[in-house]
Amino acid sequence: MARHGVQRAVREQESSALLVSGIDVTGAAFQEESRTVDISETGIAFHLKTSVWMDAHLTLDIRSSPSLGPHALLMAKVVRFGASVGDKRLVAARFD
């Protein structure tokens, strides 16, 4: 159901290899391997051990995605955090 009259993009559940890079909460550059949780036309969700700020811009190197093909290099902005799974936290980001 749409919130505030805005319809959400359809999310496809998938688990593709992902290399996330950016700047963490301490200001240090990082790279971390992860896997996609879901992906849509406008964004992506994945788990991340590294702490990042809301609105952080990340580089996403996605490999073998059924939705995006064999390789995609994208930029995305963190828009939401979800529940933790072990030592990793769910991060949702909107493609730039």
Q: What is the pLDDT of residues 45-88, one digit of tens each?
A: 999 999 999 999 999 999 888 888 889 999 999 999 999 999 99
The DSSP symbol for 10 reads P
Domain-embedded: residue 19: yes
Q: What is the pLDDT of residues 5-30, one digit of tens each?
A: 665 778 889 999 999 999 999 999 99
Domain CATH number, residue 82: 2.40.10.220
> Residue 57 is part of which domain span?
12-95
Domain-embedded: residue 3: no
Asked if 36 contacts 14 with a C-beta cutoff of 8 angstroms, the reply is: yes
Distances (CA, A) of 21 to 1, 6, 12, 59, 71: 33, 30, 23, 5, 16
CA distance 4 to 85: 30
Domain-embedded: residue 53: yes
Domain-embedded: residue 74: yes
Domain-embedded: residue 4: no
